[in-house]
Structure 1
Amino acid sequence: MNHGGIKIFAGSSGRSFAERMCKYLDAELGLSEAITFSEGNTFVRIGETVRDKDVYLVQSIGLKPNDEFVEILFWVDAFKRASANSVTVIMPYFSYAKGDKKDEPRVSIRARVCAESIELAGADRVVAMDLHSHQIQGFFKKPVDHLFALPVLSEAILQMNLTDPVVVSPDAGFAKQARKYADYLGMPIAIGDKTRKDHKEKAEIMEIIGDVRGKTAVIIDDFTITGGSIVELSKGLKARGAKRIIACLSHLLVNEKGVKKLEDSPIELILGTDSVVNPHIAQSDKIRLVSVAPLFAEAISRIHRRESVSPLFERVPDGVIKSSLITD
């Protein structure tokens, strides 16, 4: 499909993702460059005219959240000062979405601060995927299109033809989203009882609610950083008789130690998306990626044509599924 009117630009953490979007849309990636000076300052420059254009900036806030967030602000400001008609920020992953509440004294609601800053810089719209919680959309006054990896990941799971599968939520808080996967896949559901006592990124699995004995357990979660929670859950599932264990994650931010932990765990396969560029996972034989760039490309195509995006929240066109090829 050709969408010559769409102008997609990439930040430093969004180039490969933006290139996949452009391939789906048969569009050219806009000319731009981002430079980090020796003292750490970030400099961005647009390499072509954007006057009166509807611009789409692709940049995940992932493994370098502070640098990547500030870069978004500079890009939006640059596009606005170059007289772009509108600027839509495409954030496949929004790291600071985890800071969505004031759950202890004297802390910042970081997601709210980021949302206001992006809007103050001049963004007209935001497109993101699998935010940590739905209420983050309310932190923005501008429109937010909240996409879900569910249909793309679910289709990848269905292609595996698993024997006697059961969807497993890591905790009660994620059970509602896990149930959506279970409904899509036509599978039963089990729930882990997880507790987290501090900010040391270590969770303890207390109990598992549901039958997993002799089944293929499919752990569903939105992201992992250390791999700790899903590894502990996998051990609990194995102890309760699960035959095979697979993990399915929207965002893979796992670090080098976390990858080693996953490699040594009972988990047979970790299925994730390309929402974050993560060099730590490149050498892992257990990790397999599906691209959600076609999903985002379809979304901005509909936005650009002033069409509804809501059909993409649950079901997506076959063309998106077929284009969501496993990436290297």
Structure 2
Amino acid sequence: MTRDDDLLVFGGSASPVLTENICRHMGIQAGLGEVLQFSDGNLFVKVGENVRGRHAYLVQSTVFPANDHFMELLFWVDALKRASAASVTVVMPYFSYAKGDKKDEPRVSIRARVCAQSIEAAGADRVVTLDLHAPQIQGFFGIPVDDLYALPTLTEAISAEGLTDLVVVSPDAGFAKKARMFARRLDAPLAIADKERVDHSEAARVIDLIGDVRDRHALIVDDFTITAGTLAEVAECLIDKGAKSVRAAVSHGVFTGKAMHRLDMSPIETLWVTDTVENQPVEFSPKVRVASVAPLFAEAISRIHRRESLSVLFDQ
């Protein structure tokens, strides 16, 4: 059996705050390490303590900048394995390349699969992540993947508002299954926006709305937002359809450029996000509220280390 003193949690440079919060919930100190970037762009990763025969968990989101932080993740895994760690579990709160999950046009790379194979080739024994863009990405890996849900964390924050006459809105048909889980948890009906995306401009157009939102408080739910464009457009549509107010909740707040301006100009009153991304290049709008998933990841790491089931974390 594994012992608690066999466990070490390290944080990459993309997720130092989340790592500290995870460790605080677990009652341990974060593992020591060093990451340097040389003038030519090369990265250097060094594990700062003895990991021989111990079980290492690396917390690292892969965004801002996505490529640097993904390469850093691979170097961490390699360094830990070469230092004779008994196992290395990659805790990847946000997997940015998960959006490249299929060959949906000629002559393109399936980026998520390339990244999955690279993580496995570097020596990772397991991956823990949160709300993958497409659950089938787990099949790109030949190692176990635990895809946790932000739903309990977000719905707890939403329920604290005490809203009545709530309707949950999926921004597209692809997220309808997850949105239905939110609706069930919040004891609310479901509506679905019909949108189309015609290019790679990160913008989509809302065509219609399936469901009744009139005289209800609408809650848009999604796995991530980058420009807040879809959220803003769906919010406008909901107001036009008679919604009393609009709020939103997304797992990953990957905010860029004019995202905060769009959010401020939109009818959205509150946007809940988790802390899977902590280095956004924008200053948050007062409308943004952060719900931490540190307790969720702390519980997952503890259960994996003690060889306990994770099924309780997926109980809806």
For the aligned pair, the TM-score class normalised by the smaller chain equals: over 0.9
- Residue 280 of structure 1 and its aligned partner are, at CA, apart by 4.1
The alignment yields a C-alpha RMSD, in angstroms, of 1.2
- Are 2:303 and 2:310, in contact at CA under 8 Å, matched by a contact in 1? yes
Structure 2 match to 1:298: 299
Q: Within 2, Cα distance between the matches of 1:137 and 1:182? A: 25
Q: Map Cα deviations across residues 226-269 of structure 1 (whole Å, 9 max, x no partner).
A: 11111100000011111110000000001131111111110000
Q: Say if 1:3 and 1:25, in contact at 8 Å, map to a contact too.
A: no
TM-fit CA distance, 1:213: 1.0
User: Following the alignment from structure 2 to structure 1, what is the Cα–Cα distance between the partners of residues 282 and 178?
Assistant: 25
How far, CA to CA, are the matches of 1:174 and 1:270 in structure 2?
A: 17
Aligned to 1:235: 236
Aligned residue in 1 for 2:259: 258
State the partner residue of 2:11: 10
Query: 2:129 & 2:244 partners in 1: Cα distance?
Result: 35
> Which residue identity does 2:234 align to in structure 1?
L
Match of 2:123 in 1: 122
TM-score, length-scaled by structure 2: 0.97
Q: 2:205 maps to which residue?
A: 204
1:3 CA displacement = 4.4
Q: Using the alignment, how far apart are the partners of 1:7 and 1:310 within structure 2?
A: 23
2:89 and 2:284 mapped to 1: Cα distance?
A: 34
Structure 1 residue 313: Cα displacement: 1.4
In structure 1, the residue matched to 2:157 is 156
For 1:184 and 1:3, locate their aligned partners in 2 and report how far apart those are by CA, in whole Å. Answer: 34
What is the TM-score normalised by the length of structure 1? 0.94
Name the amino acid aligned to 1:14. Answer: S
- Number of residue pairs aligned between Structure 1 and Structure 2: 314
Distance 1:6 1:32 in 2: 15
CA distance in 1, matches of 2:257, 2:264: 11
The answer to whether the Cα contact below 8 Å between 1:273 and 1:291 also exists between their aligned partners in 2 is: yes
2:37 maps to what in 1? 36
Letter in 1 for 2:250: L
Alignment of 1:40-119 (within 5 A): 40-119=41-120
Q: Percent identity?
A: 58
Q: Secondary structure at the match of 2:258?
A: helix
Deviations 1:198-234 (A, max 9, x none): 1111100011111111110000000011111111000
**Could you tell me which residue of structure 2 aligns to residue 178 of structure 1?**
179
Distance across 2 between alignment mates of 1:127 and 1:245 = 32
In the alignment, structure 1 residue 220 sits paired with structure 2 residue 256 = no
Q: Conserved in 1, the CA contact under 8 Å of 2:57 and 2:88?
A: yes
* Larger displacement relative to structure 2 (122-131 or 2-11): 2-11
Answer whether contact 1:3 1:26 (CA < 8 A) is retained. no
AA at the equivalent of 1:312: L
Mapped contact 2:232–2:263 kept (Cα < 8 A): yes
CA distance in 2, matches of 1:122, 1:282: 36
SS in 2 for 1:268: strand
Is the contact between residue 168 and residue 189 of structure 1 (CA under 8 Å) also seen in structure 2? Answer: yes
Unaligned 5+ runs, structure 1: 316-328
Q: Matched residue of 1:119: which SS?
A: helix
Q: CA–CA distance in 2 between the matches of 1:37 and 1:244? A: 49
- Contact preservation (8 Å) 2:14, 2:279: no
Q: Which amino acid aligns with 1:138?
A: G
Q: How many angstroms apart in 2 are the aligned matches of 1:33 and 1:209?
A: 51
Mapped to 2, the partners of 1:113 and 1:12 lie a distance apart of 22
CA contact (8 A) 1:151 1:314 kept: no
Aligned 8 A contact 1:4 1:27 in 2? no
Q: Which residue of 1 aligns with 2:315?
A: 314
Maintained 8 Å contact 1:150/1:314: no
Quick check: 1:169–1:189 contact (8 Å CA) kept in 2? yes
Instruction: Spell out, residue by residue over 1:45-101, the C-alpha distance to the aligned partner (whole angstroms, 9 max, x if none).
Output: 111110001000000012211001100110110001101000000000000000000
Unaligned runs of 5+ in 2: none
